[in-house]
């Protein structure tokens, strides 16, 4: 390569004010220099400065003014050494530091976490709330911020934790709403992936995110909303008082697109062959979208890939068999260097796979649903598009989501170029606008006039209609008070009205609700089924299974043995009901979240409607929301400590997890005092080889750098 001529080409693009293309060409050149181990020249460093990619400047080979720029854009992000921001990161940080609220669209590779960390380190706010889309991202964000700020802040990721003097709260939206009535003021509210507040992009959860933004936004001094690949943000009440920074076309990596589908031409054999060819070397993320497509890709790898000779993978595979089931594809895949990432798996399993994927001698390929683009901040040299479905029903992938998937290719300082292999035709390149219209299900909970102003006449009439209907059952002022107290976990007012009408119309039937407090699991059956049918869609997991609601009842009854029974035995007991290990993950999640939320709101409403009956199923709700495990054991799984290791800690009497007064933060402090080595010595005789790896990973997440 004639590097001088290539630099000349880049310089001409800059003179033509075509900075975006100049930056792309420069990144290709940086990849060449790095792969060939050629030192950066002063000319190359100068072009890096001109394109705003300041972190890439090599201070050892640059002229003084380029070195000065590299140093001038260094900021404290809470770690031991300051880091250099690129030009657009610095611009956004400066705007936040002068007090602006910002809604910004930026590429996946932009480096948004550095801005958040720098703001906390420099401004030292008292209360920071970060709303993230998934529990996996909650743990990843917690790990990052814990290492930097836990000496000064209380890092909170679970509900019902008392506030400290200074707090960083990290939640999915459903948990965040609990603190809206507890926090007096929020210094900065950060909404990650805020496009999910649009029902176009997330029909299931948009209402709950909008509700959280309304409640928390009202007490926030500043707001910082982030989303990738949005071209424009339409006028809406959620961002009307914020600076809107339309899509920042500032990539720090270059994406090389390979249109493999043109050669494959819908030939399944060619598609399979190309997949196997691409995954024999390097690291790959494979977007498969649908669970049936994940199964198809898994079958290909199990049949055609040889077992890896890496000891850590064999240990992980053996651990999965011993602690879950031998009748499961994941252990077989792990032996071949392949992982699976989806929103159903226990979070500790997902976290471990991502960590192994980040290690050179760990997992090479991860097959994923959309969870990989919204659940974790990982990336790879190669991203493979196996399916062009969205994962929502059988709908086609939107261009917006596809760009998010592509954005997982490449990484600053590791892969200058991301290789994107399209085995199927991607969606058309249509600009994405963000429309944050308020759904009808949220209308009854709107108090702030700012949000009511944007409603149309039909929606205003629906509010009146709802209040008229609910006031026939519950005093409307009392209902609004419950909403202000965030007593309801369901944001859908139409569903709340349905529940209230059902309880009011069948008072005699609901008088038996206390049976859920019984230790006799057989007495739960008709109540569970009755409650499920208040919102069957939230529990449904198989549209073709007519017996699934009966199975759900059996699942809850068997899950009640979760603490006393080993998982392999529990899963084996479920086989009688044709519930396999994948169903187990799916159903446990539904029990702990959707069903627990439904039960909570039934409980709140029945107390108002059936006054004098003195019924309260809060204890049962607590049990199912923690999968019938001690609460701290369930919470520790989010920190990367699986329940089976917690059981060993409890059995060896290191900690008593059945102590009802035990809290998560007290437990973590006790474990830190005990220390990793001493903990291992206490339970060593019961540990497998891979348990040591997991314990190391867990302690890494609760200790400082």
Same domain, 109 and 25: no
Q: Is the pLDDT of residue 103 over 60?
A: yes
128, 205: one domain: yes
In a domain, 465, yes or no: no
Task: Look at residues 343, 344, 334 and name the one whose alpha carbon lies nearest to residue 364.
Answer: 334
Residues 298, 415 within the same domain: yes
Residues 87 and 61 in one domain: no
**629 — phi, psi (to 5°)?**
-100, 160
Mean pLDDT of 92-112: 89
Q: What is the pLDDT of residue 374?
A: 64
What six digits make up the tokens of 435? 């429309």
Q: Are residues 18 and 51 in the same domain?
A: yes
Where does a domain end: 245, 265, 289?
A: 245
pLDDT tops 80 at residue 544: no
Q: Please indicate whether residue 240 or residue 633 has the higher confidence score (pLDDT).
A: 633
Is the predicted pLDDT of residue 334 greater than 90, yes or no? yes
State whether 649 and 500 are in the same domain.
Answer: no
94 token code pair: 């400066």
Instruction: Return the half-sphere exposure (C-beta side, CA atoms, 13 A cut-off) of residue 73.
Output: 24
- Decide the pairing of beta strands 74-75 and 83-84: antiparallel
Identify the pLDDT of residue 453. Answer: 81
Query: Residues 93, 85: contact at Cβ < 8 Å?
Result: yes
Q: How confident is the model at residue 392 (pLDDT cuts 50, 70, 90)?
A: low
Which two structure tokens, joined as six digits, stand for 2?
């004639």
Does residue 240 sit in the same domain as residue 259? no
Kindly state the average pLDDT of the residues 431-437.
Answer: 81
Quick one: 98 and 158 in the same domain?
Answer: yes
166-207 pLDDT per residue, tens: 999 999 888 888 888 899 999 999 999 888 888 888 888 888
Let me know if residue 678 belongs to a domain: yes
**Contact (Cβ atoms closer than 8 angstroms) between residue 362 and residue 277:** no
What the block records as the tokens of 161 is: 């934790």
Residue 273 reports pLDDT greater than 90: yes
- The per-residue pLDDT for range 441-464, each reduced to its tens digit, is 888 888 778 888 878 889 889 999
Query: For the domain that residue 118 is a member of, what is the CATH number?
Result: 3.40.50.300
Percent of the chain with pLDDT over 90: 68
661 in a structural domain: yes
pLDDT of 386 above 60? yes
CB 375 within 8 A of CB 133: yes
Is 362 a residue whose pLDDT tops 70?
yes
Tell me the pLDDT band of 684, cut-offs 50, 70 and 90: very high
- Shared domain check, 412 and 289: yes
Domain limits at 28? 3-72
**Other beta carbons within 10 Å of 297:** 24
Q: How far apart are the first and last CA of the chain?
A: 42
Q: Is 10 left (phi over 0), alpha (psi -120 to 50) or beta?
A: alpha
Residue 358 lies in a domain: yes
Task: Please classify residue 487 by burial: count the beta carbons closer than 10 Å to its beta carbon, then call 0-12 exposed, 13-18 middle and 19+ buried.
Answer: middle
Angle, vertex CA 609, rays to CA 552 and CA 442, nearest 5: 70
State whether residue 108 is helix, strand or coil.
helix
DSSP assignment string, 330-359? HHHHHHTTEEEE-SSS-HHHHHHHHHHHHS
Residue finishing a domain among 24, 48, 72:
72
Strand ranges across the sheet with 365-368: 254-258, 417-422, 382-385, 284-287, 365-368, 338-341
Inter-residue contact 341 to 335 (CB < 8 Å): no
Tokens representing residue 87 in the block: 């030009």
Number of domains the chain contains: 5
Cα distance between residue 705 and residue 703, in whole Å: 7
Tell me whether residue 440 is in a domain.
Answer: no
C-alpha radius of gyration, the chain, whole number? 26
Q: Is residue 461, in this structure, part of any structural domain at all?
A: no
Neighbours of 184 (CB within 10 A): 9
The whole-number pLDDT of residue 373 equals 66
400 and 475 inside one domain:
no
Give tens-digit pLDDT for 284-324. 999 998 888 999 999 999 999 999 999 999 999 999 999 99
* Residue 248 predicted with pLDDT over 70: no
pLDDT for residue 245 is more than 80? no
Provide the β-strand partners of residue 84.
74
Question: Which 8-state DSSP code applies to residue 415?
Answer: B
Last residue in a domain, options 373, 405, 429: 429
| Mean pLDDT, rounded, for 51-73 | 95
Q: Looking at the structure, tell me whether residues 56 and 119 fall in a common domain.
A: no
Between 236 and 278, residue with greater pLDDT: 278
The pTM of this model reads 0.92
The reply to whether 372 and 282 lie within a common domain is: yes
> Which tops the pLDDT comparison, 691 or 395?
691
């Amino acid at each position: 390569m004639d590097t001088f001529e290539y630099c000349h080409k880049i310089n001409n693009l800059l003179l033509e004010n075509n900075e975006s293309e100049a930056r792309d060409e420069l990144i290709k050149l940086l990849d060449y220099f790095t792969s060939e181990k050629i030192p950066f020249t002063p000319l190359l460093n100068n072009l890096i400065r001109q394109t705003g990619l300041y972190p890439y400047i090599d201070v050892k080979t640059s002229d003084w003014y380029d070195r000065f720029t590299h140093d001038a854009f260094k900021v404290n992000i809470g770690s031991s050494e300051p880091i250099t921001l690129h030009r657009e990161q610095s611009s956004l940080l400066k705007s936040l530091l002068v007090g602006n609220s910002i809604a910004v669209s930026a590429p996946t590779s932009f480096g948004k976490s550095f801005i958040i960390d720098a703001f906390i380190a420099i401004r030292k706010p008292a209360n920071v709330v970060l709303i993230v889309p998934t529990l996996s991202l909650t743990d990843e964000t917690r790990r990052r911020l814990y290492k930097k700020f836990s000496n000064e802040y209380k890092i909170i990721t679970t509900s019902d934790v008392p506030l400290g003097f200074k707090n960083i709260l990290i939640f999915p939206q459903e948990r965040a709403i609990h603190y809206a009535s507890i926090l007096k003021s929020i210094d900065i509210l950060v909404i990650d992936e805020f496009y999910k507040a649009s029902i176009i992009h997330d029909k299931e959860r948009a209402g709950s995110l909008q509700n959280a933004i309304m409640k928390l936004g009202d007490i926030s001094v500043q707001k910082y909303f982030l989303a990738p690949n949005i071209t424009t943000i339409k006028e809406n009440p959620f961002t009307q008082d914020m600076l809107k920074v339309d899509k920042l076309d500032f990539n720090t990596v270059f994406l090389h697109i390979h249109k493999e589908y043109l050669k494959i031409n819908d030939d399944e054999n060619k598609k399979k062959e190309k997949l196997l060819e691409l995954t024999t070397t390097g690291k790959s993320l494979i977007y498969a979208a649908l669970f049936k497509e994940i199964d198809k890709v898994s079958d290909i790898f199990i049949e055609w890939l040889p077992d890896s000779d890496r000891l850590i993978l064999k240990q992980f595979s053996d651990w999965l068999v011993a602690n879950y089931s031998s009748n499961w594809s994941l252990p077989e895949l792990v032996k071949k260097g392949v992982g699976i990432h989806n929103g159903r798996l226990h979070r500790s399993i997902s976290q471990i796979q991502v960590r192994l994927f980040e290690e050179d001698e760990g997992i090479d390929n991860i097959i994923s649903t959309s969870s990989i683009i919204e659940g974790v901040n990982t990336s790879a040299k190669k991203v493979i598009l196996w399916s062009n479905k969205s994962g929502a029903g059988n709908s086609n992938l939107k261009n917006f989501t596809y760009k998010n998937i592509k954005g997982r290719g490449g990484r600053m300082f590791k892969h200058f170029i991301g290789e994107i292999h399209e085995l199927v035709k991607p969606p058309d390149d249509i600009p994405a606008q963000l429309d944050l219209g308020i759904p009808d299900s949220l209308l009854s909970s709107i108090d702030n006039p700012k949000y009511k102003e944007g409603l149309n006449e039909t929606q205003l009439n629906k509010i009146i209609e709802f209040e008229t209907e609910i006031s026939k059952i519950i005093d409307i002022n009392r209902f609004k008070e419950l909403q202000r107290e965030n007593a309801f976990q369901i944001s859908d007012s139409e569903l709340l009205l349905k529940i209230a009408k059902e309880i009011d119309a069948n008072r005699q039937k609901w008088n038996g609700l206390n049976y859920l407090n019984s230790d006799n699991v057989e007495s739960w059956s008709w109540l569970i089924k009755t409650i499920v049918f208040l919102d069957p869609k939230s529990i449904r997991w198989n549209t073709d299974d007519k017996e699934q609601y009966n199975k759900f009842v059996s699942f809850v009854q068997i899950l009640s043995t979760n603490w006393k029974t080993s998982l392999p035995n529990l899963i084996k007991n479920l086989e009688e009901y044709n519930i396999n290990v994948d169903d187990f993950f799916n159903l446990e999640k539904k029990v702990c979240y959707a069903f627990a939320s439904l039960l909570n709101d039934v409980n709140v409403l029945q107390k108002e409607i059936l006054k004098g009956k003195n019924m309260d199923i809060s204890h049962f709700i607590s049990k199912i929301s923690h999968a019938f495990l001690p609460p701290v054991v369930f919470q520790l799984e989010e920190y990367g400590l699986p329940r089976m290791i917690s059981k060993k800690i409890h059995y060896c009497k290191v900690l008593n997890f059945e102590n009802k007064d035990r809290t998560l933060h007290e437990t973590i402090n006790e474990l830190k005092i005990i220390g990793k080595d001493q903990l291992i010595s206490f339970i060593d005789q019961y540990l497998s080889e891979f348990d040591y790896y997991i314990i190391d990973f867990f302690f890494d997440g609760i200790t400082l750098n």
